[in-house]
Amino acid sequence: MLTRPPYDVVVVGAGVVGAACAYYATLAGLSVAVVDRGPVAGGTTGAGEGNLLVSDKEPGPELDLALLSTRLWGELAAEPGAAFGGEAGRGTGGGFGERIEYEAKGGLVVASGEPGMAALRAFAEGQRAAGVEAVEIAGERLYELEPHLAPGPAGGVHYPQDAQVQPALAAAHLLRAARSAGAELRLGETVTAVRTRPDGSVLGVTTDRGQIDVPAVVNAAGTWGGELARLAGVALPVLPRRGFVLVTEPLPRIVRHKVYAADYVADVASGSAALQTSAVVEGTPAGPVLIGASRERVGFDRTLSVEVLRRLAVQAAALFPVLAEVAVQRAYRGFRPYLPDHLPAIGADARLPGLYHACGHEGAGIGLAPATGLLISRQLTGKQPELDLSPFRADRFARS
């Protein structure tokens, strides 16, 4: 007698991207298991910041993904409890948005001089044509938005759509909602192989606890997405891009938006392995101000770099002089899942039927998680995705 596989899909990875995949796949009626070798958000999700940014993205596929995600984060935040049945309304109290510390606070990009302002203006113009809300603010009016900003900037652009969540809470509550609708969470379990049928399609996964037969596997292994792909016999060049974040002592609300200098955008887009720092400053509901983040490709080196922390602190104090007097409580680091063209891998892998990728989101995985999860669920259920997924194909590197 043929036995039915226990699940329709196994999601490998319980970071925010795997959580969003599980959430939307369960919502679409699929039977889902999430397998992670560690705890929920134990990978990069627990070491990220939580900016949901459209402001730093130029027109193109990543911005389209970010705009879709912005809408989805807003819808999720508006859910009265967990999004479906089960535990809705119970638990930690408050709506979904409150539980994940969602704040639609907006972003403010500041240019120190006229040349920077001209470049920022042109960048915002292109974004507006692509559907981004971007409002130019004259230098003297910046203080109405951010009273503690340093004197003298030439101007800035206000991005009302930028928002923020607490990433680990976001992953946990998405998984909680998925579980309440039937998904299974298998933590402390490592996927060691992806098994295939003679016809080359996915048969299932092997873990350190046994075998799971399943027709669809979602690679949401973040920075380790390349290793998971390798287990399935396909190449995907995901590399770690290290970033440090400084956390200050709790403060009253002195920083109201997500604030950063215009040169941050160039750092994000750079493919250089060398160190780049340009501070993004944001307050949190709990009080500490987060100052992120550096970018460098140094493998999985966890060594604390005082030089990086110093540069971040100096840049943050240049934006907000009041921060020069504030104590830093701690610093942490994480490894962004970097792909060479800065775009994630999302969707079915044409080389291995049954394998889907949802990884490689670099410094934007928190922001892009819901759109990724929704698009993967569309493919899993044979529906038309909201966006053209071809720019995110995993085999694009092999082809080039």
Ligand X SMILES: Cc1cc2nc3c(=O)[nH]c(=O)nc-3n(C[C@H](O)[C@H](O)[C@H](O)COP(=O)(O)OP(=O)(O)OC[C@H]3O[C@@H](n4cnc5c(N)ncnc54)[C@H](O)[C@@H]3O)c2cc1C
Query: Which pair of structure tokens corresponds to residue 347?
Result: 């969707």
CB of 207 to ligand X, least distance (A): 7
The answer to the question of residue 248 lying near ligand X (CB under 6 A) is: no
For residues 153 and 363, which CB has a smaller minimum distance to ligand X in the complex?
363
Which residues within the stretch 249-308 sit at the binding site for ligand X (CB under 6 A)? Answer: 292-293
Q: Which of 76, 245, 317, 394 binds ligand X (CB under 6 A)?
A: 245
Among 7, 8, 9, 18, binds ligand X (CB under 6 A): 18
Which of 87, 241, 229 is CA-nearest to residue 172?
87
Contacting ligand X (CB under 6 A), which of 36, 62, 64, 103? Answer: 36
Closer Cβ to ligand X, 142 or 220, answer by number: 220
Instruction: Give min distance, CB of 40 to ligand X, in A.
Output: 8
3-state secondary structure of 125: helix
- The reply on whether position 65 binds ligand X by CB under 6 A is no
Tell me how far, at minimum, the Cβ of 103 lies from ligand X, in Å. 13
- Map residues 205-244 to x or -, x wherever contact with ligand X holds by CB under 6 A: ---------------xxxxx---x--------------x-
Nearer to ligand X, 117 or 343 (CB): 343
Longest CA–CA separation in the chain, Å = 76
| Long-range CB contact pairs, 191-198, < 8 A, 24+ | 191/12, 191/35, 191/37, 191/228, 191/231, 192/231, 193/231, 194/228, 194/231, 194/232, 194/233, 194/355, 196/232, 196/233, 196/352
Quote the least distance from Cβ 89 to ligand X, whole Å.
27
Q: Which of 65, 364, 371, 375 binds ligand X (CB under 6 A)?
A: 364
Which region among 85-93, 105-113, 318-326, 360-368 touches ligand X (by CB under 6 A)? 360-368
Position among 27, 50, 83, 277 found at the interface with ligand X (CB under 6 A): 50
| Residue the block writes with tokens 């995907």 | 236
Taking CB under 6 A as the criterion, the residue among 9, 10, 11, 16 binding ligand X is 16
Q: DSSP alpha helices (H): ranges in the chain?
A: 16-27, 61-77, 96-99, 114-129, 142-145, 167-180, 225-231, 264-269, 306-319, 365-380, 396-399
Cα–Cα distance measured from residue 268 to residue 62, given in angstroms and rounded to the nearest whole number? 13
Q: What is the DSSP string of 68-89?
A: HHHHHHHHHHT-SSSSSSTTTT
Q: Is the peptide bond before 66 cis (omega within 30 degrees of 0)?
A: no
- Shortest Cβ 9–ligand X spacing (Å): 15
**Is 294 in a helix, a strand, or coil?**
strand
CB of 186 to ligand X, least distance (A): 9
**From the CB of 332, what's the least distance to ligand X, in Å?**
7
Binding residues among 317-346 for ligand X as defined by CB under 6 A? 334-337
Q: Return d(Cα 311, Cα 306) in angstroms, integer.
A: 9
Using only the alpha carbons of the chain, give its radius of gyration: 21
Q: Any contact of residue 170 with ligand X (CB under 6 A)?
A: no
Binding segment for ligand X (CB under 6 A), chosen from 31-39, 74-82, 264-272, 313-321, is 31-39
Residue 379 binds to ligand X (criterion: CB under 6 A): no
Q: How many CB atoms lie within 10 A of CB 185?
A: 19
What distance in Å separates the CA atoms of residue 360 and residue 338, rounded to the nearest whole number? 5
Residue 215 Cβ, how far from ligand X at the closest point, in Å?
Answer: 19
Nearest Cα to 109, choosing from 161, 61, 67, 62? 161
Residues that bind ligand X (CB under 6 A): 12-18, 35-38, 42-45, 47-51, 190-191, 220-224, 228, 243, 245, 292-293, 334-337, 359, 361-367
